[in-house]
Structures are given as structure tokens and as C-alpha cells.
Amino acid sequence: MTRGRPRQFEEKEALARATLVFWEKGYRGTSLDDLTEAMQINRPSLYASFGDKEQLFLSVIDHYRQAYIRPIALELLRAADLRTGLLVFFKGAGRIICGGVNPPGCLIACLLSEECCESEVIRLKLAEIITSADAAFTELFEKHKHELREQLTPPVAAQLLTSTMHGIAIRARSGASLDQLLPIVEGFIAALLKPDGG
């Protein structure tokens, strides 16, 4: 039996490296040379494992969601009360989007949305992510409906949360610090929840 050649690179690590390149330079600003250098692979290996640049970008988005967004979203979904959960969620998001170890901003809010006019596939990816986030947060707010202000329905609260997250990500991309973003977060939470916590 003939055994295939062993892979010369670890795909998950290569994908993590590609994520940082796209995050820093943007989709259009990232060249194939940038990617192959960062991923430490040649072009044939890139095409064989990830497809073309657009397909790689979509894989990077999925990696970003799993590696960066899912852990903080799970903390929110598991929180005993919304006020605590939202503060933990936004502080976790702030550490991700305010630079430092990572490039500033959110790969989804700042970069994926930027490319929607260039590709229907990318537009559909963004729409799917927003719909998925809205659905998950709607379910969360249904569970904690008694904590919401009476004029807010769970679906509207979910959309407000997604929109606020995207808004602060854009501010972070422009250079806003975590200290500058936290008052926005606190204002959002105050507008969302009953003063007495329900």
C-alpha cells in the first residue's frame, strides 16, 4: 500500500498565521506573497489545502469565529445574569479588538463587511454570521427577558447587541482604547436592562 507524503506544515497553525495577516492588512491589502511567507508554505500547498485567496479568507473567518469570538460568546450565554454576562463579554471583546497582541478591530465587523461589494460569496458569509449571532442572542434574551426594559423585545435586543459590538470594533480599528470603549458599553447595558436587574 502506498502511503501519501506527510504534510509539510500544520494546517491549523498556517490558518492562524493567515488570520493575523488578513486582520492587519485587510483582504485587498494582503497579497499571496504575504500569505505564503506568513504561513511558511508555497503557493501550490496553499491552493491544495485552502483553495484560492477568497476561499482562504472564508476559512480564516471561520477560524476567527472559533478561536476568538466563540469563547467570549459562550461566557455570555452561560452567565447567570445579563449585566454580569455582558460586562464579561464586552471586556473580552475589548481585549481582542483593541490591538496589543492582535491587530486592532474585528475581522468580521471591519474587514468582512468591507469586502461585501466585491464578492457575493463574502456578502452571503457576512449575512450568515449576522443572522447566526442574532439568533443566538435572541435565545439568550428570551431566557433573561425579565431583565430587559419592557419596551425591548429579545430580537431587537439581540440586534442592538450585534450592532453595538460592530460599532465599537470600528472605533477600535481607528485607534480607540479599551478605556475609551467601556463607557459606550456601560451606556448600552444601562439602556438595555432594567435598573433593578428585573
- Identify the burial level of 198 via C-beta atoms within 10 angstroms of its C-beta, where 0-12 means exposed, 13-18 middle and 19 or more buried: middle
Q: How do residues 14-35 score in pLDDT, each as one tens digit? A: 999 999 999 999 998 999 999 9
80: cell is 447567570
Return the HEC string of 20-41.
Answer: HHHHHHCCCCCCHHHHHHHHCC
Q: Which of 126, 127, 133 is nearest to 108 (CA)?
A: 126
Give the rounded distance of the alpha carbon of 112 from its chain centre: 10
Q: How do residues 128-167 score in pLDDT, each as one tens digit? A: 999 999 999 999 999 999 999 999 999 999 999 999 999 9
The whole-angstrom separation of Cα 19 and Cα 39 is: 10
Contacts 24+ apart (CB under 8 A), 69-75: 69/96, 69/108, 72/96, 73/136
The structural domains of the chain, ordered by start, are 11-192 (1.10.357.10)
Q: How do residues 75-108 score in pLDDT, each as one tens digit? A: 999 999 999 999 999 999 999 999 778 899 999 8
The whole-angstrom separation of Cα 84 and Cα 29 is: 38
| pLDDT value for 9 | 58
Question: What percent of the chain has pLDDT above 70?
Answer: 94
Average pLDDT over residues 2-9: 46
Average pLDDT over residues 114-135: 87
The whole-angstrom separation of Cα 5 and Cα 137 is: 45
The whole-angstrom separation of Cα 91 and Cα 11 is: 30
